[in-house]
């Protein structure tokens, strides 16, 4: 189901109000120093904002063009590179890995690595170990060579017996790209993906000269630990095809847009994109996995993308295949903010777009009531969407899943339209003490709150 551009435009405009009020409070509850949020349509950034700080102390404001380690989003670039090589007839997805890398060998009683194909590596169906046998995720010392990492010990489960995520598999795919193209992995993806798509702030791995816009990534909040350290910037070497990429929100939105089936600006053809988006496994309850892509649905629409986790960074970037809408969320710590905000934004966008006629009914409302109100029980975000107000807790991962719609009945008085629930359904919500065109107090049912933001 495709929505009309006017409905997209309405939804994009209205949910910006939600993000401006919700996200600054959300990251405080999540103990996330900073986040960049981008919403793009056909690769063009329509909403691009940074919230919070680039440092844990809060001394330096985060900028929207900041660079992040986007980690496993690297797998999308690697998959695109493999698909390009297939389009050129230089390899086939069902070729055996060992046809290109003779050292990729090892067997046990149930499995033989000589049977593992490129397609199985792309879809995490190879059965090999996740990260080899080295502790690089703790030591930051990633392998420079992979030849000596492969033996019968690499086999954990039989190939094609289930979804088993593997960074090592994508690192090995980088070796295939190198072997077939006769370029280094970094040279190939730069020449054939980054430059053609004009991704000016995207790099396959950390260079010797650290980009000035690359921010520090901080460890997660740990109970009983006073200070949160910043992790060092490190090269990923042979692991770059799995986790090395550095980029910003604008570039990632542009890259994901290139995967839309009908876009004019792309570096792979329609058939390759369809193959990438075909499900090959089910790693989670609601998600599936294609070739280098997470696949799931929101409101009946197919969404693809990938998350990323690196030392000090958690990121998430998704795109709606049919409507060519991108949501990119980048954070500088280990928290749940990126995934919950990106999916929450996409779901809000579609629900508001699909019900745009409902939100536009009624008298035009000012932004008098927008803000965060607090009482001893918690905080409530109030924000205008069209000619309605909505109210929800800033702690939620997805506002639209639990917000209450408030319809105006009198000046500064609204009815909670919830039919059932714990949040005073059908009772009145009143705003008072209007100063500088902003209400300072709210009475939800019989419980008073004061504006704090």
Q: What is the pLDDT of residues 366-425, one digit of tens each?
A: 999 999 999 999 999 999 999 999 999 999 999 998 999 999 999 999 999 999 988 899
Rounded-to-integer distance, Cα 164 and Cα 156, Å: 9
> What is this structure's pTM?
0.96
Q: Name the β-bridge partners of 40.
A: 45, 326
3 state SS for 321-343: CCCCEEEEEEECECCCHHHHHHH
Largest CA-CA distance found in the chain, in angstroms, rounded: 77
Percent of the chain with pLDDT over 90: 93
Alpha-carbon distances, residue 441 vs 156, 370, 381 (angstroms): 60, 11, 13
Q: Is 222 helix (H, G, I), strand (E, B) or coil?
A: coil
Please compute the mean of the pLDDT values over residues 116-127 and round it to a whole number: 98
Between CA 71 and CA 81, with CA 75 as vertex, the angle to 5 degrees is 135
Please compute the mean of the pLDDT values over residues 121-144 and round it to a whole number: 97
Rounded-to-integer distance, Cα 312 and Cα 314, Å: 7
Q: What is the pLDDT of residues 43-94, one digit of tens each?
A: 999 999 999 999 999 889 999 999 999 999 999 999 999 999 999 999 999 9
Rg (CA), the chain: 24
Q: Name the β-bridge partners of 451.
A: 373
Which secondary structure element, helix H or strand E, spans residue 17, and what is its range? helix 5-29
């Amino acid at each position: 189901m495709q929505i009309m551009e006017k409905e997209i435009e309405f939804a994009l405009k209205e949910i910006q109000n939600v993000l401006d009020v919700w996200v600054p409070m959300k990251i405080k509850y999540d103990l996330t120093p900073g986040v960049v949020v981008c919403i793009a349509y056909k690769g063009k950034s329509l909403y691009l904002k940074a919230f919070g700080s680039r440092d844990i102390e809060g001394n330096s404001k985060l900028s929207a063009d900041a660079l992040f380690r986007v980690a496993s989003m690297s797998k999308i670039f690697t998959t695109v590179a493999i698909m390009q090589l297939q389009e050129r007839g230089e390899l086939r997805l069902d070729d055996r890995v060992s046809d290109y890398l003779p050292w990729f060998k090892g067997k046990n009683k149930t499995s033989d690595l000589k049977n593992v194909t490129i397609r199985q590596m792309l879809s995490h169906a190879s059965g090999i170990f996740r990260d080899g046998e080295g502790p690089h995720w703790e030591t930051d010392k990633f392998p420079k060579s992979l030849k000596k990492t492969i033996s019968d010990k690499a086999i954990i489960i039989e190939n094609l017996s289930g979804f088993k995520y593997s960074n090592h598999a994508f690192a090995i795919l980088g070796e295939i790209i190198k072997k077939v193209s006769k370029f280094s992995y970094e040279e190939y993806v730069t020449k054939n993906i980054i430059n053609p798509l004009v991704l000016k702030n995207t790099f396959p791995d950390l260079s010797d000269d650290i980009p000035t816009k690359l921010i520090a990534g901080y460890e997660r909040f740990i109970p009983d630990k006073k200070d949160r350290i910043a992790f060092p910037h490190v090269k990923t070497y042979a692991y770059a095809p799995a986790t090395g990429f550095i980029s910003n929100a604008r570039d990632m939105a542009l890259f994901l847009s290139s995967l839309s089936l009908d876009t004019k600006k792309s570096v792979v053809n329609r058939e390759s994109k369809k193959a990438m988006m075909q499900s090959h496994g089910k790693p989670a309850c609601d998600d599936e996995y294609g070739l280098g892509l997470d696949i799931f649905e929101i409101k009946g629409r197919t969404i693809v993308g990938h998350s990323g986790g690196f030392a000090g960074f958690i990121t998430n970037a998704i795109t709606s295949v049919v409507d060519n809408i991108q949501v990119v969320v980048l954070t500088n710590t280990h928290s749940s903010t990126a995934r919950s905000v990106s999916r929450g934004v996409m779901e809000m966008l579609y629900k508001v777009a699909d019900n745009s006629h409902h939100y536009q009914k009624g008298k035009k409302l000012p932004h008098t009531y927008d803000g965060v109100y607090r009482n001893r029980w918690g905080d409530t975000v109030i924000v205008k969407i069209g000619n309605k107000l909505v109210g929800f807790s800033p702690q939620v991962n997805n506002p639209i899943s639990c917000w209450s719609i408030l319809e105006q009945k009198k000046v500064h008085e609204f009815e909670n339209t919830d039919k059932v629930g714990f949040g005073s359904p059908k009772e009145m919500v009143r705003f008072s003490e209007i100063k500088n065109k902003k209400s300072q107090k709210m009475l939800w049912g019989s419980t008073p709150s004061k504006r704090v933001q």
